Chain A
Amino acid sequence: MLKTPLYATHLALKAKIAPFGDWLMPIQYQGILAEHAHTRQAVSIFDICHMGEFMLQADPVLSGLDRLVTQNIVTMPFGACRYGFMLNEQGGVLDDLIIYRISRTSWMLVVNAATVARDFEHLKNNLSEDCFLDNVSDKMSKLDLQGPQSLEVLNNIFGKAVDKLHYYSFSEFVFQGESCIISRTGYTGELGYEIYIANDYVGSLWELLLKDQRVQPAGLGCRDTLRLEMSYPLYGQDLDIYHTPLAAGLEKFVDFSKDFIGKQILLEEQERGPKERLVCFQAESRRSPRHGFVILAKGRQVGLVTSGSFSPSLGVGIGMGYLRSDYDIGMPLTIKEAAVEIPVKIIKKPFVKKTSLLNF
């Protein structure tokens, strides 16, 4: 199993450690509910070193990069990041990724941990030969600082320049003489930042952040409940090669004004309407839908739950799944597993609507 540079730190903090893909990751420290609440109300630090980063030197168009992703990278200002997808020829999602534009021809691609090798191959096979593509995942660490107080915490360490970061932008900062990248992005729905720094420095940055009394460590357990409350998809569960971004309801991250791999299929799907749609549903009780449970509409199976959990903010079960039928907001469904039946209603995403995401 793979371990992040902070593994010993997590053990010392008495974290519950569990496998997450190929990685041994901290799932929780004091408890998922407490860490979830602390992130929504104050600020938490997450070890996200398992995620993949590629550095790329490439002309946006001549290299073929623009054709490999659904986001329009040509129109991106330097210092901006943009969320989107890499698709296969069938329009299926190979990965969701954030692209950082450092300069006209210099990029950082942030991809999921489980798909690093496949993404790298896909990029290498499809980019022109004069590009320089470097998988720096093993050398680069990533910390997420998330919560309404995250800006004040970063101001104390990196200065007032952090104020200038608006949503989905980034800048280079210096920590103990080492350059690092901070972007105003995240996976919790709160005001927050993602920090990319060399492995050798991540331990001292983690320590310094935790010295701030407001900051608590948080594990992947609450990262999952936080992202699900925002209806953010998780690759491998809510997104996969069998579903398109249209089926996932994420067409706003697809730029149809340009060419990209899989576009033709998506246009056809747009024409006749997707066969399945990812919907969000909420239970009236505390009982939680879980990944793999069956979704029934009027007694007939219409899909499977892709993500499900207890929502700490709402105090009820919530989930998402692909529905092979027409639906309306408010439509009742039953989530079933063996003798368990959970009545739910389809809701308009996200589950939690008021957060600090766009504060400042």
Chain B
Amino acid sequence: MNIPKSLLYTKDHEWARIEGKIAYVGITDYAQHALGDITFVQLPKIGEELKQASFCATVESVKAASDVYAPLSGKVLSVNAQLLTNPELINQSAYEKGYLLSMEFSLDAEKTKLMDAVSYQVYVEGLAK
């Protein structure tokens, strides 16, 4: 299981990479593996205001559809449009080429509600039991 040290994580298996006031957002390696082959992605509009833990995207695999929730509150700056035609990028590169969107997050304090890599690792191992 690939869980990069530098990222923050949610219980719903989203990740956030913080670069100053900008957060890049995606779903984790655990999530893409559980879903299987991703076949469709719906992304929010640029400029849309997201609230932490609220719906922001849909990821569909052959077998099921799954909602993605925003790890932080803030405004959508960009979306990964490549996913619209190549959703399998999420399976191939969940933390890099398969990111979903970037956002300008508004509340620094919300980061404390996210897990670091060590906590997420423990959390995922707990799910397997």
Contact = CB atoms under 8 A, between A and B. Distances in A.
Nearest to A287: B40
B42 A225 contact: no
Contacts of A324: none
B37 interface: yes
B29 to A, nearest CB: 15
A285 B63 contact: no
Interface of B: 36-37, 39-40, 42, 58, 60, 62-65, 87-88, 91
B40 A310 contact: yes
A33 B62 CA distance: 8
Please classify the interface of chain A as helix (H, G, I), strand (E, B), loop, or mixed, using the class held by over half of its residues: mixed
Contact of B37 (A31, A287, A290, A340): A31
Nearest to B39: A310
A44 interface: no
B122 to A, nearest CB: 24
B40 A288 contact: yes
B40 A221 contact: no
Contacts of A312: 62
B77 to A, nearest CB: 24
Given A286-B87, A287-B42, A225 B36 contact: no
B62 A285 contact: no
B63 A221 contact: yes
B39 A286 contact: yes
A28 B64 CA distance: 14
A34 B37 CA distance: 9
A309 interface: yes
A32 interface: yes
B31 to A, nearest CB: 14
B36 A28 contact: yes
A285 B36 contact: no
A221 B62 contact: yes
A286 B43 CA distance: 13
Nearest to A290: B65
Given A285-B40, A286-B39, A310 B62 contact: yes
Given A225-B62, A310-B62, 18 more contacts: A16-B36, A28-B36, A31-B36, A31-B37, A32-B63, A33-B88, A34-B37, A221-B36, A221-B62, A221-B63, A287-B42, A287-B60, A288-B39, A288-B40, A288-B65, A312-B62, A340-B58, A340-B65
Residue from B36, B37, B60 with most neighbouring chain A CB atoms (10 Å):
B37
Contacts of B65: 288, 290, 340
B86 to A, nearest CB: 10
A310 B63 CA distance: 8
Contacts of B88: 33
Contacts of B91: 31
B95 to A, nearest CB: 19
A285 B87 CA distance: 13
Nearest to B63: A221
Contacts of B62: 32-33, 221, 225, 288, 309-310, 312
A117 B3 CA distance: 47
B60 A310 contact: yes
Contacts of A340: 58, 65
B99 to A, nearest CB: 19
A33 B37 CA distance: 7
Nearest to A31: B37
A33 B91 CA distance: 12
Q: What 10 pairs between A and B have smallest CB-CB spacing? A: A310-B39, A286-B40, A33-B37, A32-B62, A287-B40, A31-B37, A310-B62, A32-B37, A286-B39, A32-B36
Contacts of B42: 287
A34 B36 CA distance: 11
Nearest to A312: B62
A288 B87 CA distance: 14
Nearest to B33: A16
Interface in A32-51: 32-34
A67 B44 CA distance: 58
Interface in A59-108: none
